[in-house]
Amino acid sequence: MEDSLLIKQFQEGNLKSYETLYKKYYKLLAVYAKQFVKDLHISEDITQDTFVMIYEKRSNIEIHTSFKSFMYTAVRNNCLNYLKKEAKMIDTPFAQNEPIIEEEDANTISNIELAEKLAKAINKLPRQNKEIFKLSRYRGLTNEEIATKLNLTKRTVETHISNALKKLRVDLLPIILFVLHFFYF
Amino acid sequence: MNKNYTHINDAHLIDYLQKRTTETENKQIENWMQVNEENRIQFENVKQFWKISFMAKDFEKIDTDTSWEKVAHKIENSTVPKVRKIDFSILWKVAASFILLLGLSIPFFISNNTTLTATTTKEYKLPDGTQLWLKKGSKLTYTNDFNAEKRDVKLTGEAYFKVAENKSKPFSITINNTTTTVLGTEFNLKADKTNKISLTLIEGSVKFSTDKTYEIIKPGETVSTQEDGTLTVNSTKNVNVDSWKTKIFQFNKTDLSKVIKNVANAYDTQLIIENENLLDCKLTATFNNQSLDMIVETLTLLYKFSVVKDGDMIRLINGRCAS
């Protein structure tokens, strides 16, 4: 369903429509919040509170951009508020003199959206490929550790990881190339 | 890890990025990167991947469904006092049995009908949301089951309807032997003193039927009953058909005889021009929600009338056509 319709419905108090929007964007927003607060638990809490707050204010808000952009801004503001409060509590000056550069922020967002696609692509890998890749990338195990754990040779592990990376790169290549152009040309 | 790379693959590049490579390996990889553009792009690709794969890990960790339950719980707790859901279906049953009970025990106490009688031209709202301007002296009757399955009303006199749209419950108006069935629309319906019925459609579509025949008319058209029982459809010439409701008049080279007829009709008074030579004078003017006195004053200024008020009747004497 179109976001615009869902927005209209949730602003009229339809919680079901709000749930659809939530489930569509929650992960993206929580990972985005983590770029500010560095801790996934805190960033999830901030994101959830932002969703509660927006719902309560639903009749007084006007969404001129997409719902996603609107929420990115709302979550970002709440993260910055959180960091300010935290800085006060532990009595260290909040580094406000590092303003958010819109261009950098746009890069962060495009990386997060790419990461979401990558996460989906990883789950589509063949079983052993996926397992080895996750141990390597998510758990931070060295190829030797994985080899011992799975009773494989180190070379097999390397081949698996290499194949997985290659496949993922091919799957996501058009997007990656775009990002590279953005950075280097 | 002290071996020579004969072939650099993605996994090696990842090791390099994670700083798990030796000095020698670093050198080899750095040299490999400089061999050609292709290698450099491959490295940048892997680097990009390496970066975003950390974020991808977070996507795996997050449980959206569980987190939504928390959010929904918070929302419901904070909004409960404001709106309480009412089960209308139960309410209906309760109300229905109550009415039934009343109906059985004291049948003479409540009437089955509601009648709106307009002693002055007034706006009403019907239970289905339909807006209605009932002209002075007109009556509208509807039964208490109005809007249950159908929306039937009975009219005497003249009314302007703005029917609330509801395709599953047709709205029908009986006036004398005619029935007008509509879905959601705006129109003016009247029975004049000779019992000629006419309906002018402003918006939407309407089926106008007698017991013998019917017409479906379009906006801007007027359908009227004839003495022989047939129906005629004209495109609406009189733009001021609903002026009695709106008190807005637009005259464009209109005969003065017509002007005073319109004004008199709207203010429910009698206006008489005694000088017959003036009846064909043309007036171009707009009156926007002005009082009757103001309109008469304007006409007097234009046509140099003498005004005589005689009870409900206003007589305009002498005068001449405006140049």
- What are the Cα distances from residue B175, in Å, to B49, B117, B198, B235, B241? 77, 15, 10, 22, 18
Tell me: the pLDDT tens digits for B53-89? 878 888 988 999 999 999 998 888 775 444 444 444 5
- What are the Cα distances from residue B96, in Å, to B100, B102, B125, B127? 6, 10, 22, 16
Rounded Cα distance, B115 and B252, in Å? 39
Same domain assignment for residues A37 and A89: yes
Q: Which residues pair with B188 in a beta bridge?
A: B160, B200
**How distant is the Cα of B62 from the closest Cα of chain A, in angstroms?**
7
* Predicted pLDDT at A184: 42
Same domain assignment for residues A28 and A69: yes
Q: Is the pLDDT of residue B300 over 90?
A: no
Same domain assignment for residues A10 and A91: yes
Looking at the complex, does the CB of residue B86 fall below 8 Å from at least one CB of chain A? Answer: no
Verify whether the Cβ–Cβ distance A115 to B83 is below 8 Å.
Answer: no
Same domain assignment for residues A11 and A92: yes
Verify whether the Cβ–Cβ distance A56 to B75 is below 8 Å.
Answer: yes
Higher pLDDT, B7 or A160: A160
Mean pLDDT, all residues of chain B: 79
Q: Is the pLDDT of residue B131 over 80?
A: yes
* Predicted pLDDT at B103: 43
From A54, A75, A97, the end of a domain falls on A97
Rounded Cα distance, B174 and B176, in Å? 6
- Per DSSP, helices labelled H in B170-255 are 243-246
Q: Is residue B277 very low, low, confident or very high in pLDDT (cuts 50, 70, 90)?
A: confident
Nearest CA in chain A to B53: A115
- What are the Cα distances from residue B171, in Å, to A85, B64, B66, B144? 61, 48, 48, 15
What's the CATH code of the domain at A24?
Answer: 1.10.1740.10
List the Cα angle B317/B319/B322 in 5-degree steps: 145
**How distant is the Cα of A43 from the closest Cα of chain B, in angstroms?**
11
Q: What is the mean pLDDT of residues B223-247?
A: 79
Nearest CA in chain A to B66: A23
* Predicted pLDDT at A173: 63
Q: How many distinct structural domains can be found in chain A?
A: 2
Compare CB distances from A115 to B14, B56, B68 and report the shortest one's residue: B56
Both structure tokens of B153: 């009303």
Cα torsion B105, B107, B109, B113 to 10°: value is 140
For residue A112, the chain B residues in CB contact (below 8 A) are 55
Contact assessment for residue A78 and residue A70, using Cβ atoms and an 8 Å cutoff: no
Contact assessment for residue B218 and residue B234, using Cβ atoms and an 8 Å cutoff: no
| Structural domain range at position A21 | 3-97
Same domain assignment for residues A24 and A71: yes
pLDDT, averaged per 10 consecutive residues of chain A (185 residues), comes to: 86 91 96 91 93 90 88 93 76 56 82 88 86 82 87 89 81 60 44
Looking at the complex, does the CB of residue A12 fall below 8 Å from at least one CB of chain B? Answer: no
Tell me: the pLDDT tens digits for B133-156? 888 888 899 888 888 888 889 998
Identify the weakest region by mean pLDDT among A18-22, B39-43, B53-57, B217-221. B217-221
Looking at the complex, does the CB of residue A180 fall below 8 Å from at least one CB of chain B? Answer: yes
Nearest to A103 by CA among A114, A111, A95: A111
What's the CATH code of the domain at A135?
Answer: 1.10.10.10
From A63, A97, A131, the end of a domain falls on A97
Q: Is the pLDDT of residue B105 over 60?
A: no
* Predicted pLDDT at B63: 92
Tell me: the pLDDT tens digits for B235-246? 765 677 788 888
* Predicted pLDDT at B237: 58
Same domain assignment for residues A8 and A83: yes
Q: Which residues pair with B270 in a beta bridge?
A: B313
Verify whether the Cβ–Cβ distance B59 to A27 is below 8 Å.
Answer: yes
Is the ipTM above a cut-off of 0.85?
no
For chain A, where are the E strands, in sequence order? Answer: none
Same domain assignment for residues A69 and A128: no
Q: Is the pLDDT of residue B184 over 70?
A: no
Rounded Cα distance, B247 and B267, in Å? 8
Q: Is the pLDDT of residue B110 over 60?
A: no
pTM of the model: 0.47
Rounded Cα distance, B223 and B197, in Å? 8
